[in-house]
Amino acid sequence: MTTVFAILFYAAFAVLVAGLGMKIAQFARTPAPLKIPTTPAPLTRQGAAFRVAREVVVFESLFKSNKPLWIFAILFHFGLFLVLARHLRYFQEPVWSVVALIQPLGVYGGLAMMAGLALLLLRRIVVARITYITGPSDYLMLLLLLGIGATGMAMKGVAHTDIVAVKAFFLGLMRFDIQPLPADGALYAHLFLVAVLMIVFPFSKLLHVPGVFFSPTRNQSDDPRERRHLAPWAAKLEAGGN
């Protein structure tokens, strides 16, 4: 099993990095020919960067839009953030002191994440408008995340796994020196689902993660009268003479 998981994780990591890298390159390469910030928008580029930062960190537009949904989304994303931070310790030796410091919070993060996901799922099922726009992949994504959370929390709360060995496995992976992975069903399930998540990431709606940084309606400054904005293809059109 150790070898299987080692290969799986190398593959998943490669797909994640390459897939995401290609998507980001595509977003970056595609020109935005017109100034289309949703106004009122900041007048300066720094202002626009701050606007994007607010979208990323506090979900500003979502807050304006729908308070319950905002709470569910914040629960899930901040929970996930704490959980990910807690997991950093499996990949570093020595462990950074901040990571060690927030480690006890990770458990609450896990709970918040599970609660947020459950509420999001419930909302998809109960609210007719949301059911209408939900496809199989949307349910599966929530179930996948719930599965990862559940197996992870089971290892923490119910059946402890040998995390020292798990850490050795991952540190080993990073050094191309494969160490044995403990034989534990919950761990296998957890790691398998995480690898699936990594693989589907660049092909799914999880692309909202890079997407939010590239959205022209949010990242453009409002200065079209002051600064002429011209995409390369539009400049070519102009030079083509008419």
Partner 1 sequence: MAADFETPVLGDVEERPTPALACGAMAGSKSYVAAPAHNEALGFPGELVPDWQDKAIARMGELLGKYRSLQVFMDSCVKCGACTDKCHYFLGTGDPKNMPVARQDLFRSVYRRYFTPVGKMFPGLVGAKEFTRELLDDWFNYFHQCSQCRRCSVFCPYGIDTAEISMAAREIMDSIGLGQKYCNEIIGKVHKIGNNLGLPGPALIDNLEGLEEDLKDETGQDVRFPIDEEGAEVLLVTPSADFFAEPHVLGLIGYAKVFHAAGVSWTLSTKATEAGNFGMFIGNYEQMRKIAMRIREAAMELKVKRIVFGECGHAWRVAYSFLNTLVGPWDFLDPRYPVPQHILEVTNDLIKRGGIRLDKSANEGIVPTFHDSCNVARASRMGDFEGGQFVIPREVVKACVPRFVDMHPDTTHEKTFCCGGGGGLLTDELMEIRVKGAKPRMEALTDVVRNQGVTHMVSICAICKAQFTKILPYYGFDREVVVSAHQLVSNAIILGNND
Residues that bind partner 1 (CB under 8 A): 23, 26-27, 30-36, 38-43, 55, 59, 61-62, 64-66, 69, 73, 123, 127-130, 132-138, 140, 200, 203-205, 207-208, 211-212, 214-218, 222, 224-231, 233-234, 237, 242
Question: Which residue, 46 or 65, has its beta carbon nearer to partner 1?
Answer: 65
Question: Which residue, 172 or 210, has its beta carbon nearer to partner 1?
Answer: 210
- 93 contacts: CB under 8 Å, gap ≥ 6: 167, 171
HSE-CB for 89 with a 13 A CA cutoff: 17
Minimum distance from residue 82 beta carbon to partner 1 (Å): 20
Question: Which residue, 27 or 192, has its beta carbon nearer to partner 1?
Answer: 27
What span, in angstroms and rounded, lies between the C-alpha atoms of 15 and 27?
18
Question: Which residue, 69 or 118, has its beta carbon nearer to partner 1?
Answer: 69
Minimum distance from residue 11 beta carbon to partner 1 (Å): 16
Question: Which residue, 53 or 100, has its beta carbon nearer to partner 1?
Answer: 53
End-to-end CA distance of the chain: 66
Burial 19-40 (b: 16+ CB within 10 A, else e): bbeebbeeeeeeeeeebebeee
Q: Please name which of 168, 225, 242 lies closest in space to residue 39, comparing C-alpha atoms.
A: 225
Minimum distance from residue 148 beta carbon to partner 1 (Å): 17
- 160 contacts: CB under 8 Å, gap ≥ 6: none
The CA-atom distances, in angstroms, between 96 and each of 73, 92, 99, 215 are 28, 8, 5, 34
Minimum distance from residue 3 beta carbon to partner 1 (Å): 27
As a residue count, the chain comes to: 242
Question: Left, alpha or beta for 190 (phi > 0: left; psi -120 to 50: alpha)?
Answer: alpha
Question: Which residue, 69 or 99, has its beta carbon nearer to partner 1?
Answer: 69
Minimum distance from residue 211 beta carbon to partner 1 (Å): 3
Minimum distance from residue 180 beta carbon to partner 1 (Å): 34
